[in-house]
Amino acid sequence: MTAGEMVAATVPMVRTLDLEFLESTAERAVVRLPDRTDFHNHVGGPHAGAMFTLAESASGAIVMAAFGDQLTRAVPLAVKAEIGYKKLAMGDVTATATLGRPVADVVAELDEGKRPEFPVTILIRREDGAVTGEMTVVWTLRPNA
């Protein structure tokens, strides 16, 4: 099971929005939100909440790809998120997430008994490539008690 499939299987909202995981590796996760009228806002593009969920889901996919092997000893949790809406998004939109710290550094902190935090940056683009949103989610790996 890929990291994207794992997120889709465990997070009902991902299925509600019909998110499609195009890529999910420790280096990059790419997720698409289909253009559906029931996801639209008052100007005909995807609702801000749908775009937030798209980007947060892409961040979750990269976290699972990068740290899925640590699940027996730690739980990944989103600590905080910030999103900026830059341009009107119309049609299908795609979120691309990248990890902000090397996996080995995060795991080393976990090995030391710490609760590491790390950022994931996400760019949301419409089909013509224009960036319509930018998001950063700070994640932690909370050691199991």
* pLDDT tens column, 52-107: 999 999 999 999 999 999 999 999 999 999 999 999 899 999 999 999 999 999 99
Q: pLDDT tens digits, residue range 17-31?
A: 899 999 999 999 999
Q: pLDDT tens digits, residue range 100-122?
A: 999 999 999 999 999 999 999 99
Q: Kindly report the pTM of this predicted structure.
A: 0.93
Task: Inform me whether the pLDDT recorded for 48 exceeds 80.
Answer: yes
Task: Inform me whether the pLDDT recorded for 4 exceeds 90.
Answer: no
Question: What per-residue confidence (pLDDT) applies to 133?
Answer: 97
Q: pLDDT tens digits, residue range 132-142?
A: 999 999 999 99
- Report the topology of domain 3-143: Thiol Ester Dehydrase; Chain A (3.10.129)
Find residue 31's DSSP bridge partners: 21, 95
Provide the token pair at 12.
Answer: 């009902």
Name residue 12's amino acid: P
Residue 114 neighbours by CB under 8 Å, 6+ apart: none
